[in-house]
């Protein structure tokens, strides 16, 4: 599962990109990929039109309805990738309030970004919502290369 703020830009893009990569590699039937938002502002809405256009230009369908992160997601998924440190903190706080019994490993998405040097704190995936087209393209590039690394990790057994 991928988690951002409103589940209309970053996390649904990561879901769509990883799903397409998994289909292309013939492993989609072995994965359950979803996304959600820490906040409920956009529940039921489509992904942002600018993100849909950015994804479509690269052959990635982004047919998505936003949903809010649920405490049950901590038990339903093996891996939860937070797009930002604020999302990571929110998810870990939900887990703490529920007794810290999450089945899922909760990780910062860009810890797996192959373009970043190892050893330092991974940055957030920037939120393109209030910016222009280049912000959406940059987020796509980050998400694509990071999802590729995540899927490699799953296929190679480095990630559950």
Q: What DSSP letter does each residue of 7-21 carry, written as one string?
A: SSSHHHHHHHHHHHH
Cα separation of 155 and 160, whole Å? 9
Strand order in the sheet with 79-82: 35-37, 2-4, 79-82, 105-108
Res. 148: pLDDT tops 90? yes
Q: Terminal CA-to-CA distance of the chain, rounded, Å?
A: 13
Confidence of residue 160 (pLDDT cuts 50, 70, 90): confident
Which member of 10, 50, 52, 110 is catalytic? 10
pLDDT of residue 108: 98
pLDDT of residue 119: 73
Which member of 39, 127, 145, 148 is catalytic? 127
Alpha-carbon dihedral 103, 109, 111, 112, rounded to 10 degrees:
100
96 assigned to active site: no
76 assigned to active site: no
Cα separation of 144 and 130, whole Å? 21
Exposure of 87 in the CB half-sphere (CA atoms within 13 A): 32
**Arithmetic mean of pLDDT, 151-160:** 95
Give per-residue burial for 65-80: e unless 16+ CB within 10 Å, then b. ebbbbeeebbeebebb
**Arithmetic mean of pLDDT, 141-154:** 98
- Residue ranges and CATH numbers for the domains of the chain are 2-155 (3.40.50.2300)
Which member of 4, 50, 73, 124 is catalytic? 4
Which pLDDT tens digit goes with each residue over 2-50? 999 999 999 999 999 999 999 999 999 999 999 999 999 999 999 999 9
147 assigned to active site: no
């Amino acid at each position: 599962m991928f988690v951002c703020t409103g589940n209309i830009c970053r996390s649904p893009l990561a879901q769509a990109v990883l799903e397409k990569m998994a289909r292309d590699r013939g492993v989609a039937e072995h994965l359950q990929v979803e996304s959600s938002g820490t906040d409920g502002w956009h529940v039921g809405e489509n992904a942002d039109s600018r993100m849909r256009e950015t994804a479509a230009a690269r052959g990635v369908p982004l047919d998505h309805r936003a949903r809010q992160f649920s405490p049950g997601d901590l038990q339903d998924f093996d891996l939860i990738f937070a797009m930002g440190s604020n999302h990571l903190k929110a998810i870990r706080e939900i887990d703490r309030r529920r007794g810290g019994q999450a089945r899922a490993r909760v990780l910062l998405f860009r810890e797996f970004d192959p373009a970043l040097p190892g050893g330092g704190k991974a940055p957030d995936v920037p939120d393109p919502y209030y910016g222009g087209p280049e912000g959406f393209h940059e987020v796509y590039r980050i998400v694509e290369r990071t999802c590729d690394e995540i899927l490699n990790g799953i296929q190679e057994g480095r990630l559950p």
